[in-house]
Structure 1
Amino acid sequence: MTANNIGRYSKYIRPISILVDLMIISISGFYLFEYQIYNISYFIIYLIVGWIAVAVFIHFYDVYRFTAPIEIFSKIIKQGVLFLLIVIAFFPFSKQYAFSEKTVILFIISSMAMVSISKFTLFYFLKKYRIVTGSNFRNVVIIGYTPEAIRLKKLFEARNDFGYHFFGFFSNKKENIEIKGKLEQLKSFVIENEIDEIYCSLKEVSNAQLKKIIAFSDENKKTIKFIPDSKEIFSKNLQIDYYDSFPVLSLKKTVLNDPTIKIFKRVFDIIFSSIVIIGLLSWLMPLLAILIKLESKGPVFFRQGRPGIDEKEFHCYKFRSMKINGATETEASKNDPRVTRIGKLMRKTSVDEMPQFFNVLLGDMSVVGPRPHLWSQNLSYTGKIKKYPIRHCVKPGITGLAQVSGFRGEIEKDRDMINRIKFDIFYIENWSLILDLKIIYQTMVNIYKGEEKAY
Structure 2
Amino acid sequence: MNTFKQGRYSGFIKPISYFIDLSIIVGAIFLFEINLKNLYPFIFYACFFWIIIAFKNHFYEVQRYTKVVQIFTLLLRQIVFFVFVLYAFIGFFKQPNISRWALGNYLVLVFFLVTCFKFLVFFLLNKYRSALGGNFRKVIVIGDTEKTRQLINIFNARPSFGYKFIKQFSVKGDEFSLQKCFNFIIENDINEIYFSVADLSNKQINKLIDFADNNLRELKFIPDNKDIYTKKLKYEYYDYIPILSLRTIPIQDTVNKFTKRFFDITFALFIIIFILSWLTPILAIIIKMESKGPVFFKQSRNGFNYKEFDCYKFRSMTPNKDAHLYQATKGDQRVTKVGAFIRKTSIDELPQFFNVLFGDMSVVGPRPHMVSHTNMYAQRIDKFMVRHFVKPGITGLAQTSGFRGEVETDKDIINRVKFDIFYIENWSLLLDFKIIAQTLINALKGEDKAY
For the residue of structure 2 that corresponds to 1:281, the secondary structure is: helix
Change in Cα spacing, 1:387 to 1:92, as seen in structure 2 (3 Å) is farther
Stretches of structure 2 lacking an aligned partner (at least 5 in a row): none
Instruction: Give the CA deviation at 1:401.
Output: 0.2
Instruction: Give the CA deviation at 1:316.
Output: 1.5
Q: Is the 8 A contact 1:6 1:135 kept in 2?
A: no
Equivalent residue for 1:255, pick from 230, 250, 258? 250
Q: Is the 8 A contact 1:52 1:260 kept in 2?
A: no
Instruction: Give the CA deviation at 1:289.
Output: 2.3
Instruction: Give the CA deviation at 1:107.
Output: 4.3
Q: Is the 8 A contact 1:140 1:199 kept in 2?
A: yes
| 1:119 matches 2:118 | yes
Change in Cα spacing, 1:209 to 1:343, as seen in structure 2 (3 Å) is same
Deviations 1:19-41 (A, max 9, x none): 4334434544677799846572x
Write the distance in 2 (CA, Å) between the matches of 1:438 and 1:32.
46
Between 276-285 and 192-201, the greater mean CA deviation after superposition? 276-285
Tell me the residue number matched to 1:83. Answer: 82
Write the distance in 2 (CA, Å) between the matches of 1:97 and 1:297.
73
Change in Cα spacing, 1:8 to 1:425, as seen in structure 2 (3 Å) is closer
Q: What is the identity, as a one-letter code, of the residue corresponding to 2:329?
A: S
Change in Cα spacing, 1:151 to 1:382, as seen in structure 2 (3 Å) is same
Tell me the residue number matched to 1:128. Answer: 127
User: How many residues get paired?
Assistant: 446
Write the distance in 2 (CA, Å) between the matches of 1:104 and 1:318.
55
Write the distance in 2 (CA, Å) between the matches of 1:358 and 1:30.
41
For the residue of structure 2 that corresponds to 1:305, the secondary structure is: strand
Please show how residues 344-363 of structure 1 align to structure 2 within 5 Å. 344-363=340-359
| 1:272 matches 2:267 | yes
Change in Cα spacing, 1:381 to 1:104, as seen in structure 2 (3 Å) is farther
Tell me the residue number matched to 1:230. Answer: 225
Change in Cα spacing, 1:23 to 1:185, as seen in structure 2 (3 Å) is same
Write the distance in 1 (CA, Å) between the matches of 2:92 and 2:336.
57
Write the distance in 2 (CA, Å) between the matches of 1:442 and 1:413.
25
Q: Is the 8 A contact 1:171 1:182 kept in 2?
A: no
Tell me the residue number matched to 1:340. Answer: 336
Instruction: Give the CA deviation at 1:379.
Output: 1.0
Tell me the residue number matched to 2:190. Answer: 195
Please show how residues 235-250 of structure 1 align to structure 2 within 5 Å. 235-250=230-245
| 1:381 matches 2:377 | yes
Q: Is the 8 A contact 1:170 1:182 kept in 2?
A: no
Write the distance in 1 (CA, Å) between the matches of 2:57 and 2:69.
15
Write the distance in 1 (CA, Å) between the matches of 2:98 and 2:351.
47
Between 147-156 and 21-30, the greater mean CA deviation after superposition? 21-30
Write the distance in 2 (CA, Å) between the matches of 1:255 and 1:272.
21
Deviations 1:255-286 (A, max 9, x none): 11111110111111112222222222222222
Q: Is the 8 A contact 1:156 1:165 kept in 2?
A: yes
Q: Is the 8 A contact 1:306 1:373 kept in 2?
A: yes
Instruction: Give the CA deviation at 1:110.
Output: 3.1
| 1:173 matches 2:168 | no
Between 444-453 and 300-309, the greater mean CA deviation after superposition? 300-309
Write the distance in 2 (CA, Å) between the matches of 1:156 and 1:293.
62
Q: Is the 8 A contact 1:382 1:388 kept in 2?
A: yes
Q: What is the identity, as a one-letter code, of the residue corresponding to 2:223?
A: P
Tell me the residue number matched to 2:18. Answer: 18
Tell me the residue number matched to 2:149. Answer: 150
Quote the RMSD (CA, aligned, Å).
Answer: 2.8
Tell me the residue number matched to 2:320. Answer: 325
Q: Is the 8 A contact 1:171 1:183 kept in 2?
A: no
Between 101-110 and 266-275, the greater mean CA deviation after superposition? 101-110
Deviations 1:33-57 (A, max 9, x none): 99846572x6555544433332222
The alignment's TM-score, normalised by the length of structure 2, stands at 0.90
Q: Is the 8 A contact 1:143 1:183 kept in 2?
A: no
For the residue of structure 2 that corresponds to 1:371, the secondary structure is: coil
Equivalent residue for 2:297, pick from 302, 308, 317? 302
Write the distance in 1 (CA, Å) between the matches of 2:226 and 2:370.
48
Q: What is the identity, as a one-letter code, of the residue corresponding to 1:322?
A: M
Change in Cα spacing, 1:30 to 1:390, as seen in structure 2 (3 Å) is farther
Change in Cα spacing, 1:29 to 1:253, as seen in structure 2 (3 Å) is farther
| 1:432 matches 2:431 | no
Change in Cα spacing, 1:384 to 1:25, as seen in structure 2 (3 Å) is farther
Change in Cα spacing, 1:114 to 1:294, as seen in structure 2 (3 Å) is farther
Q: What is the identity, as a one-letter code, of the residue corresponding to 1:111?
A: V
Instruction: Give the CA deviation at 1:450.
Output: 1.1
Q: What is the identity, as a one-letter code, of the residue corresponding to 1:171?
A: S
Q: What is the identity, as a one-letter code, of the residue corresponding to 1:187?
A: F
Q: Is the 8 A contact 2:304 2:392 kept in 1?
A: yes
Change in Cα spacing, 1:209 to 1:275, as seen in structure 2 (3 Å) is same
Change in Cα spacing, 1:337 to 1:207, as seen in structure 2 (3 Å) is same
Write the distance in 2 (CA, Å) between the matches of 1:90 and 1:279.
39
Between 405-414 and 339-348, the greater mean CA deviation after superposition? 339-348
| 1:408 matches 2:404 | yes
Q: Is the 8 A contact 2:34 2:99 kept in 1?
A: no
Instruction: Give the CA deviation at 1:367.
Output: 0.9
For the residue of structure 2 that corresponds to 1:215, the secondary structure is: helix
Please show how residues 28-47 of structure 1 align to structure 2 within 5 Å. 28=28, 36=36, 38=38, 40=40, 44-47=43-46
